[in-house]
Amino acid sequence: MSRNQYERVVNARSSISPDAVATAVGRRRKLLFLVTEDWYFVSHRLDLAIAARRAGYDVMVATRVDRHGDRITDAGLGLRPLAFNRGGLNPFEEVLTLIRIAAIYRREAPDIVHHVAVKPVIYGSLVARLLGVKGIVNALSGLGYVFSSTGRRAAVLRCLVEPVLRLALGGSRSRLIVQNGDDRIRLTARGLARDESIRVIRGSGIDAGRYRPADPLGDPPLVVLPGRMLWEKGVAEFVDAARRLKAAGVKARFALVGSPDEANPASIEPAQIVAWAREGAIEYWGWRDDMPDVFAQAQIVCLPSYHEGLPKVLLEAAACGCAMVASDIPGCREIVKEGLTGWLAPVRDADALADALQQAIRRPDLREQYGRSARALIAADFSVDRIAKETVAVYDELIA
């Protein structure tokens, strides 16, 4: 399917009612999401799943259930608990995971499977192809630790993962969703996916109505870094920049919001975070379920990450009208536009990050201006309705 044909499918999709879709195919088609964690599904895919249900799909979710199972079932979605260890490397446990996935796929017999992140993409795709699932949608929201880290462990994992990922992403009934054009280029350059099978859909979508505008004029300004506490999120650079600005007499508060991720090799030890907080360089707020309220308190949201797909935390910050400071990398550049919605700084450069933060802290007029532009950008390009429509068009493309 050409890009023009694909866009016609996207545009036509909005004019077809769910009832008409169900009638045309004789039954409701079944869509199954495979995601490692229930909290991630609720945060990043729940709105999409609800939109797919309205478009005529019965939607199931296979994931590790912790605290968010009720959110999934209350939305009218089926839930299939699955023991899934994101960081597991034990061969016996991994084979058991594959067997469990195969059992769910056999029992549910989905028309479309939607796999999110590297491990579900590999495991789910291999099982789906063996069982003859009609359509396979794989979503990579950034290339993550394995492909972006320069460490020895990541290099070894790359050698193991690349051949299997290449196999998983192949096939004429498979589509790969990435969140920015740079990732598309990198994946095709490495020979991991065919360009014609890739669709660029920018992020998970945001319902701006859920976010109340932040106050751009807080005194002292609150600067927040939201996300998992990983070295590769630029947390150390953020702390270093905060330390330098405080030493220079700049009046501001700096807060880390999120928790370590033990399944990720780049996770920061909790003791290190506590030490930073005791030093007084930053405040540590830990994990928060009320991120719209967090963003509403902040004047500046900072994400000095080393690599991203299209970070939802920046979409949420923009929806609240927060000014933003981020690394000058693919994904962040989609939202943080220099001189329009925020400030960009070179990756891994604490000095440049401190300079950008100082400009944001000392210019409340620009914070207000950039915040308005950020909210307008979300409404124009990143609404949940638009992202859902583009994604459902991929499902319909495979069904057709």
Three-state secondary structure of 5-23: HHHHHHHHHCCCCHHHHHH
* Average of per-residue pLDDT across 42-70: 95
Residue 98 pLDDT > 50:
yes
Q: Which CATH class is domain 208-381?
A: alpha beta
Q: Which residues contact 19 (CB under 8 A, 6 or more apart)?
A: 56
Mean of the pLDDT values across residues 85-89?
71
For residue 204, the one-letter residue type is S
φ and ψ at residue 198, rounded to 5 degrees: -95, 140
Measured CA to CA, the distance from residue 399 to residue 384 in angstroms comes to 22
Question: Position of tokens 């169900």?
Answer: 22
Is residue 308 within 8 A of residue 332, CB to CB? The reply is yes
Above 50 in pLDDT, residue 21?
A: no
CATH node for 3-205+383-399 = 3.40.50.2000
pTM above 0.75, yes or no: yes
Statement: residue 24 has pLDDT above 50:
no
CB 286: neighbour CB atoms within 10 A? 12
**Distance (Å, rounded) from C-alpha 250 to C-alpha 259?**
27
**pLDDT higher than threshold 50 for residue 9:** no
Which pLDDT score, from 0 to 100, does residue 147 have? 63
The answer to whether the CB of 115 falls within 8 A of the CB of 379 is no
Banded pLDDT at 91 (limits 50, 70, 90): confident
Check residue 27 and give its pLDDT. Answer: 66
Residue type, 68: H
Please write the tens of the pLDDT for every residue from 324-361: 999 999 989 999 999 999 999 999 999 999 999 999 99
Mean pLDDT of all residues in 88-93: 80
- At 392 the pLDDT is 96
Amino acid 368 reads E
Question: Band of the pLDDT at 145, cuts 50, 70, 90?
Answer: low
- The answer on pLDDT for 373 being more than 90 is yes
Q: How large is the angle between the packed helices 46-54 and 384-399, nearest 10 degrees? A: 60
- Return the residue matching tokens 């928060």: 288
Whether the predicted pLDDT of 153 surpasses 80: no
Which part of the chain has CATH 3.40.50.2000? 3-205+383-399, 208-381
Cα angle 121, 199, 168 (rounded to 5 degrees) comes to 25
